[in-house]
Structure 1
Amino acid sequence: MLPRTLPAAVLLASLGFAGPAALATDAAAATPAPAAGPVARGASPGSARGGAPEWARGIEGQRQADLGDGSFLNPILAGDHPDPSVLRDGDDYYLTLSSFDAYPGLPLWHSRDLVNWQPLGHAITTSVGSIWAPDLVRHEGRYYIYFPGRTDAGRSNYVVWADDIRGPWSEPVDLHLPDHIDPGHAVGEDGRRYLFLSGGDYVQLADDGLATAGEVKHVYDGWRYPETWVVESYSQEGPKITRHNGWYYMITAVGGTAGPPTGHMVIVARSRSIHGPWENDPDNPVVRTESAEEQWWSRGHATLVEDAAGKWWMMYHGYERGFWTLGRQALLDPVAWTGDGWFEARGGDLGQPLPKPAGAPIGRHGMALSDDFEGDRLGHQWAFYSPGPDEMARISFEDGALVLQGKGNAPRDASPLTAIAGDRAYQVEVEMEIEPGAVGGALLFYSDRLYAGLGSNGEDFIMHRYGEERPARLAPGPGGRLWLRLTHDRHVLTIHHSRDGRAWEKYGVQMEVSGYHHNTVGRFLSLRPGVYAAGEGRVRFHDFRYRALD
């Protein structure tokens, strides 16, 4: 095989990318096929101030991958979109992701080109705990999502199903598999359905896919990286099965999901039979971050997908260099099959624009995070953190306001409502009417152990920093109206407040929040803007506004 490292200009030429000017003059050449040549590593985008590639800007100025010239710049979905499972269904692509402690859970997205995505809603509202890596499949006309759920009391794997991708989705069905994570669905050469699991195990499913039909068996020992490599842990997980040209390909992740930037990686094995034996790709790993100087860290947990033009891609996740706080973002990497029946990733370190897949966008990419609360239901952007069974009963909508009943005493036990932000700098504003006895506030929220922001009882303030409160508890107050503005600029949080929405006063403490992420306190989450209501009364939230900053 040819060497894997080339200058960036040669890499882009090998992918058929002639640059924005050339692509703009020839729309027909906007989606060339990835070539069979090697790839370069080390180039990375950055701020436009440094002259490196820069993202397009979409709704509210949010980062958008589609550059409008036949190329795209990762991430495909900015912000916390981990463990992507992508399904092609004719000319449509559907996507779901890990939602962890957020509910509604299992977000669903729709695309026609793998780059521009629009939200469809969520597949689950009934909490089964923290939802880890799911697998979205279609079998005999019905859609299924297999996923693990973990609570303090126990864990298992579940499935939900629907005859229409937009729902309604079934209640979660317990598959009674407590000892594994990351289920991946497959149909064997015998026509039977199987579920592959972490650690190289698998189990047969019933014909309806809603129960197991036999014992869990071990089928694959994995691939071992050199002991000298700097990784988090072995952690063989995330099996996804694709059948192509008479082979079954099993894609797994090893090296740990977070930890050192060079840990997570994509591993490939193949077999003629679903039952094995499985042989490892001699060029494993097919994707790995080799240096912390690359733009994307901890790249792994991939799903293979063929586009409408017959080209192949991998979608996986990675942390953006220096921005663990944004969580694991969804990345798209072109794939080429080799003469010996394996495949290679051709996007390098994903730090440069790449030719777009075939297909036309179905509409504007992404979704607005702002909300005027004029509707009668919670917008797709919102999710409760670690909700109770009746959490939605806390919500009502009245005269253009989201009315949230207080819960707990502080953000840690108040189940805040949060939204996933994908920008490195942004600002949010919200107006609050705080009832007597309640505390309302705005936050950057990671988990019940780590958050920052400001709350008020309508008269006095309570500061949230490091997941702690000052004062330790705010006494019930008289209530009142208050506006809060949070400016999160590359890890620095600045807070302003106003009593009339016109004259703003800067809060006396600014906070550095770069450490508010998984490698500090675990949980695989991201730092998200949100609101909360605590105490005995209610808080009416008006006109939540989000805008990305340069």
Structure 2
Amino acid sequence: MQSKRRILNGRARILSCLLLTTLFVSCNSTNTDTEETDVREGSHEPLFQNFTYTGKDKIYEDNPLEEDFFYSPILQGCYPDPSITRKGDDYYLVASSFVMFPGVPIFHSKDLVNWKQIGHVLNRESQLKVETAGISAGIYAPDIMYNPHNDTFYMITTQIASGIGNMVVKTKDPLQGNWSDPIKLDFDGIDPALFFDDDGKAYVVHNDAPDEGKERYKGHRVIKVWDYDIEKDQVIAGTDKIIVDGGVDITQKPIWIEAPHIYKRNNQYYLMCAEGGTGGNHSEVIFVCDSPRGPYKPSSKNPILSQRHLDKRRANPVEWAGHADLVETPSGEWYGVFLAIRPNEKNRVNTGRETFILPVDWSGEWPVFEGGMEPLKPSVKMPTGAKNKMNTAGLFPNGNFTFADSFKERRLDDRWVALRGPRENFVREIKDGIIIKPFEVNIKKQQPISALFYRQQHQIFSAEVEMDYVPQGESDLAGITCLQSEQFNYVFGLTKSGDDYYVVLERTEKGHSKLVANAKVDQVHKLKLKVDANGDDYRFSYDIGRGDFENVGGTVSGDILSTDVAGGFTGAMIGLYATSANDIKID
């Protein structure tokens, strides 16, 4: 009897503890929601909701898709230096990311037409160390390659920051992620790429400087090859060899031979490289040899891809084409991805270098980009069996489209990136949207900043967001930014001066800032902010809840958002921004 009583008393104590725990968790959960609301009330931490980006480029309106065609570029906006690989019927594509965090966006497709972003290769601070790097430093020209001999994917790249240099990471399954920490590689130069031969041997090719004392002219570079030890994940000392000196014809002083890739076909080794620099003289050239270690002979048909020779006054120009990579489909078709730009009416490059695609005819000795030496068209023919599902939910859109994000999902969309540090360091997701914690550093610093960025993907676009925010003093500001770099950007946001609140527009060019305009507002808390662009013309507007947007500063030039004005390698981005180190002064 006493034993039963002890058991019953024990059960009662357990039930009592469970009840108390449940009440505690319930109360704690309620308090957390209340605390989130209370912390925000009158806070200097802005809440962002309902971001909408809409692209309306005329070229897509004038060129609706025909059956069996899809749009190129396949990745609009700043997705340069593409590299592609295939395992079975799965294609994976990566692009440069510089100091964007996370780094190296990675995409997956079953047909080369419909792409889905599956994350980023470098998503941890142990992989990406770009805290104080300029915006065009960081990650250059990633190369992705599948090795069938050990069923492993490799991503090799150059990290221009923190003394890392050339590095490689790897995974068994890109769909699952889990890429390794970087393995530092023992060679100089940039743009490394891996090649795995049929016999299991591996090689690295890359751009480098000529041997000491042998540089002939500015821009003179070479391509080197190394044997690569797969077990140790390192180049084999003493195996380096120059396989291309200068370019196709060194007597013509070609500049910046780079971005090399090796392909094997019909027991011949083909070396494809970019030549001419990633600007108006950009091109793609090809060489051949009966050994991966050279010597390589250039094709008499070089270049095999370029737009540099075409009339600059042509309609809808595409320029700077080059930095390509090839892939063969399971049915034996070939396609090439490459970067190019689409300048606006003033020949400015606000969308940056984008990822294009073309079919490649390799029925003869040399691969030929179909239409690659002619004015590039906005669409290309689909591979056999593909069906265009453009702008279907979950797939990466192209053409004209709307991207809407309420921020009510518990995971940020992969298209949102930070600069120089993790998004999680300043973004807090709650049920109503996202809170951005302001850092004590503003957008002009080469440091991690509290801003979440979406790439500009059209020449004609509109982007707007709702913001709930009450700045506490002159050092507080939150709003949106259109940014090319820390030295070239617009900031449009809400701040405080004395006892009054102002919407301000600031332009920063070459690091020098100027207040373009300001507007005193008598109502804060909930505000809508919007930027519209029509080519080079940008307009910034706000709405304090009356349903009408008020313009601030008139029409301003997008010149400072152009790569060819600001320099560097990135495209313009639209940011949701907060700072507690605001230096914009109201006159």
Q: What secondary structure sits across from 1:183 in the alignment?
A: strand
For 1:366, the equivalent position in structure 2 comes to: 396
For 1:411, the equivalent position in structure 2 comes to: 443
For 1:449, the equivalent position in structure 2 comes to: 487
CA distance in 2, matches of 1:204, 1:345: 30
Q: What secondary structure sits across from 1:327 in the alignment?
A: coil
Alpha-carbon deviation of 1:193?
Answer: 1.3
For 1:39, the equivalent position in structure 2 comes to: none
Amino acid at match of 1:310: G
CA distance in 2, matches of 1:54, 1:193: 47
1:523 to 2:568 alignment: yes
1:277 to 2:311 alignment: no
Aligned residues: 467
**CA pair 170-488 structure 1, distance change in 2 beyond 3 A:** same
CA shift digits 1:22-58 (9 cap, x unpaired): xxxxxxxxxxxxxxxxxxxxxxxx946xxx98455xx
CA shift digits 1:56-103 (9 cap, x unpaired): 5xxxxxxxxxx2511234222222221110112222211100111111
Alpha-carbon deviation of 1:228?
Answer: 7.8
Q: What secondary structure sits across from 1:132 in the alignment?
A: strand
Q: What secondary structure sits across from 1:519 in the alignment?
A: helix
Is the Cα contact below 8 Å between 1:369 and 1:419 reproduced in 2? Answer: no
**CA pair 433-210 structure 1, distance change in 2 beyond 3 A:** farther
For 1:346, the equivalent position in structure 2 comes to: 370
For 2:357, the equivalent position in structure 1 comes to: 332
**CA pair 310-224 structure 1, distance change in 2 beyond 3 A:** closer
Structure 1 gap ranges (5+): 1-45, 57-66, 538-550
Residue pairs, 1:196-207, within 5 angstroms: 196-198=205-207, 199-207=222-230
For 1:122, the equivalent position in structure 2 comes to: 120
1:220 to 2:220 alignment: no
For 1:382, the equivalent position in structure 2 comes to: 416
CA distance in 2, matches of 1:382, 1:209: 35
CA distance in 1, matches of 2:517, 2:443: 11
For 1:13, the equivalent position in structure 2 comes to: none
CA distance in 2, matches of 1:343, 1:143: 25
For 2:88, the equivalent position in structure 1 comes to: 90
Amino acid at match of 1:464: E
Alpha-carbon deviation of 1:189?
Answer: 5.8
Is the Cα contact below 8 Å between 2:261 and 2:272 reproduced in 1? Answer: yes
1:286 to 2:304 alignment: yes
CA distance in 2, matches of 1:181, 1:501: 54
**CA pair 74-246 structure 1, distance change in 2 beyond 3 A:** same
Is the Cα contact below 8 Å between 1:155 and 1:178 reproduced in 2? Answer: no
Alpha-carbon deviation of 1:114?
Answer: 1.5
CA shift digits 1:100-150 (9 cap, x unpaired): 111111111112222221211111123233111011111121111111101
* Aligned counterpart for 2:430 among listed residues 398, 401, 407: 398
Is the Cα contact below 8 Å between 1:123 and 1:167 reproduced in 2? Answer: no
Is the Cα contact below 8 Å between 2:78 and 2:571 reproduced in 1? Answer: yes
Q: TM-score, normalised by structure 2?
A: 0.74
CA distance in 1, matches of 2:450, 2:425: 13
CA distance in 2, matches of 1:435, 1:378: 24
CA distance in 1, matches of 2:196, 2:377: 36
Residue pairs, 1:54-73, within 5 angstroms: 54-56=62-64, 67=65, 69-73=67-71
Is the Cα contact below 8 Å between 2:113 and 2:386 reproduced in 1? Answer: no
CA distance in 2, matches of 1:168, 1:93: 15
CA distance in 1, matches of 2:313, 2:385: 33
Q: What secondary structure sits across from 2:105 in the alignment?
A: strand
CA distance in 2, matches of 1:518, 1:177: 32
Alpha-carbon deviation of 1:409?
Answer: 4.3
CA distance in 1, matches of 2:246, 2:441: 47
For 2:171, the equivalent position in structure 1 comes to: 162
**CA pair 244-424 structure 1, distance change in 2 beyond 3 A:** same
Alpha-carbon deviation of 1:223?
Answer: 2.6
Q: What secondary structure sits across from 1:243 in the alignment?
A: strand
Q: What secondary structure sits across from 1:419 in the alignment?
A: strand
Residue pairs, 1:301-312, within 5 angstroms: 301-312=323-334
CA distance in 2, matches of 1:53, 1:351: 14
For 1:176, the equivalent position in structure 2 comes to: 185
Amino acid at match of 2:158: P
Alpha-carbon deviation of 1:246?
Answer: 0.6
Alpha-carbon deviation of 1:226?
Answer: 8.6
Amino acid at match of 1:101: V
Amino acid at match of 1:482: L
* Aligned counterpart for 2:74 among listed residues 55, 73, 76: 76
* Aligned counterpart for 1:490 among listed residues 535, 552, 562: 535
Alpha-carbon deviation of 1:479?
Answer: 7.2
Alpha-carbon deviation of 1:393?
Answer: 1.9
CA distance in 2, matches of 1:79, 1:471: 28
* Aligned counterpart for 1:266 among listed residues 284, 287, 292: 284
**CA pair 443-219 structure 1, distance change in 2 beyond 3 A:** same
Alpha-carbon deviation of 1:472?
Answer: 11
Q: What secondary structure sits across from 2:410 in the alignment?
A: coil
Q: What secondary structure sits across from 2:561 in the alignment?
A: coil
CA shift digits 1:183-231 (9 cap, x unpaired): 11012465321111112112222224632332333222253459889xx
Alpha-carbon deviation of 1:378?
Answer: 2.0
Alpha-carbon deviation of 1:158?
Answer: 1.4
**CA pair 392-182 structure 1, distance change in 2 beyond 3 A:** same
CA distance in 2, matches of 1:396, 1:524: 30
Amino acid at match of 1:406: P
Q: What secondary structure sits across from 1:457 in the alignment?
A: strand
Q: Which has the higher contact order (CA 8 A, sep 6+)?
A: 2
Alpha-carbon deviation of 1:471?
Answer: 4.8
Structure 2 gap ranges (5+): 1-56, 131-137, 208-221, 583-587
Is the Cα contact below 8 Å between 2:505 and 2:553 reproduced in 1? Answer: no
CA shift digits 1:308-351 (9 cap, x unpaired): 33111211111113351111111112222254x22222223322
Is the Cα contact below 8 Å between 1:159 and 1:173 reproduced in 2? Answer: yes
CA distance in 2, matches of 1:428, 1:394: 22
CA distance in 2, matches of 1:293, 1:99: 31
| Rg comparison, structure with higher value | 2
Q: What secondary structure sits across from 1:370 in the alignment?
A: strand
Amino acid at match of 1:240: H
* Aligned counterpart for 1:430 among listed residues 465, 468, 472: 465
**CA pair 196-501 structure 1, distance change in 2 beyond 3 A:** farther
Q: TM-score, normalised by structure 1?
A: 0.78
1:242 to 2:298 alignment: no
Amino acid at match of 1:360: A
Is the Cα contact below 8 Å between 2:444 and 2:486 reproduced in 1? Answer: yes
1:420 to 2:430 alignment: no
